Amino acid sequence: MIFGASPDAVSLASFAAKTGFSVTVCDWREALCNKKIFPNADQLIVGSPQEAVSKLQFTPRDFVVILTHQFQRDKELLQLIVEKDLRYIGVMGSKQRTSRLLNFGELPFQISTPVGLTIGAEGPEEIAISILAELIHVKKMLLKSKVPFL
């Protein structure tokens, strides 16, 4: 699940779909969250963070990536999903920023911030690749460790 319809979200949705992930994109802007911009998305949800989250069924195998690039939207999203049983939550921005979003020091184990592998990525495509590489890594490591991937 990708929250935000930024250029890096467009690339991430495309690459993720091509590597076998089911992709849902959520954004409050209909002009950015549509099939023309996200042709490979399985589902598009237009609405506020609260509206989008209320329309989703979360499971312990779900990966969530927050790419809204807006502090208040990110804060609202994290507050809505942090207590859900999710495999992974990736948040764009530094650990300090994410800690401020949640109003506490230590981040829950399933939150990865800054999202993506540290490869010196620049531009939407490279950022998307760094994020997808981390998602694949988490997925594969869980399979190797025989942790149930429901």
Model confidence pLDDT, tens digit, residues 20-30: 999 999 999 99
**Assigned token pair, 12:** 């991430």
pLDDT at 141 over 90: no
Q: What is the Cα–Cα distance from 125 to 12, expressed in whole angstroms?
A: 8
Expressed in angstroms, the distance from the first to the final Cα of the chain is: 16
Look up tokens 């790419």; give the residue.
67
The mean pLDDT of 124-136, rounded to a whole number, is 96
- Whether the CB-CB separation of 111 and 86 falls below 8 Å is answered with no
Q: What is the Cα–Cα distance from 130 to 81, expressed in whole angstroms?
A: 23
In this prediction, what percent of the chain has a pLDDT beyond 90?
84
Mean pLDDT of the chain: 92
109 pLDDT band, cuts 50/70/90, is confident
